[in-house]
Structure 1
Amino acid sequence: MTAPAWTPEHEVDAAQAATLIAEQFPALRGAPVTPLATGWDNTVHLVGGEWVFRFPRRAVALRLLAHETAVLPLLAGRLPLPVPDPQLIGEPSGGFPWPFWGARLLPGTELADTGLPDEQRLCAATDLGLFLRALHEPALAALTAATELPHDPMRRGDPGVRGPQAREWLARLAAAGLWQPDPAVFGLLDEAEPLGPGAGDPVLVHGDLHQRHLLLGGDGRATGVIDWGDVCLADPAVDLSLAYSGFLGPARDALLDAYGPVPAERAARARVLAVNLSAVLAEYARAEGRTALLREALAGIARAVR
């Protein structure tokens, strides 16, 4: 049986993280270290209640780490929502062969874990729309030019690539009895796959913006955007996918009003990616026993075609 794509090659537990951090950052020696989150590419620990350290789980994440540490310091303070600012960069050592980094904790809960009903997402949607409008300004792409970011290396803005992938993930969910095949979803894929990638000038994008990467506070407002390993230059549809997987009705309208006009073909590309990412998240959540994420991801598939 093939191992899941997110299977770690190195997984740093709290004890190892404490040792590695103490060796390179003496000021944090003795600070409590507790697991905070895991994803496909990183294991994340909270240190001293104030710092978040990200340790790569797979070799593919090393390139992503380099992009994060190059771009995020340039964005700090330039966007309407906080983003991580890597201030403590750990070097490879005998205890861990790869670099890692730490940033001040951004407060909040992943949208996927909030269980917030669609009708209560309006404030977060407005916050995200304003954030994406600022992120996609051409000036920010110019600001990061020296970092030599790739142009949509995962081809997330191309429904001709992401549509067929979505069909594969949806088939797995259907086979597991988690998703009832929906003609509206297949109709979207059929119509959008021939569009191909957008032809406009690329903008700076988060690159992997879904319900795990938007943080919310207890009041329902957005408090930050995390996990920037896939930051790149791409069509804005790559980030706008969250408008369609994470929001519905008045909340989505508020997001798009705050962001600005979205052409129909760009919206179609964003919807296809919304289906793709939601299906991937659902399969990951099923395999990892993450009930809240599974519920949110399946809802994301349904939202994408409404």
Structure 2
Amino acid sequence: MSSFQGIWVPLVTPFHNGAIDFVGLRRLVSHLLEQGVDGFVVCGTTGEPAAMGKHEQLAVLDAVLEQVPAQRVVMGLAGNNLSELLQFQGEILKRPVAGLLVPPPYYIRPSQAGLEAFFKTIADASSVPLILYDIPYRTGVAFEQATLLRIVAHERIVAIKDCGGNFSNTMALLASGDVDVLCGEDNQMFSALCLGAKGAIAASAHVRPELFVRLYQQIRDNRLAEGRNTFFRLLPLIDSLFLEPNPAPVKTALALEGLIDDELRAPMQRSSPAMATRLKAVLGAMNNP
């Protein structure tokens, strides 16, 4: 069993006039800590790292580590230039992090053998545990089940963020006992937890995080009817937050709550006016059940 249990938030990166908003970042992290989330993923997809320089990513990580115990902080490590990725991994590992979240190399669509070699290289070079990030609709490559099971047998790959959309693979991972499964598709969280997932890395848990924490605890404690009620209370929010490209709706919701500015880096765009109106209504309904 890994240390990656419960509700982990893949942090957005707040911006103000194009620069990283470290004041907003501290305010957001403090709020999420107060609401009981278990940990943070810095510079995962939701953090817009593809639009940030490596020095900016490390600056965000350093800022989070000033507020959050290292055992509750995971850093995203993504790219398709392996030598540069290993160099960046070395820079990250100068910091005290709990682990790395690593997707397959995007765009180049390696073979199954290429995927195995890639993850072996990253895992062999790591001094901390890895969470494999299976998200084919962003990387352009899917794991065959046998490949996936061989990869997660590596001693340093201890968990998987499961966004693969392959129920058979999910069941095989849960049955293998080699790796902890963390749900990465927020609208599948209830069923995944009931089937044995150890938690979730959930972008929607930025908003009303205490309810996501409650959902996890209810299912963990076998209070399934209560968990089901909590999940269906959250579902309109979850569905709304993914109607437009992530993390635009999440940032809009956080801005409506006064936590950060509603700003993204190009080519990402802010939520549409219709989305902002929808989120106001959803949040209002949740605040007045």
TM-score (ref. length: structure 2)? 0.30
Q: Give the structure with higher Rg (CA).
A: 1
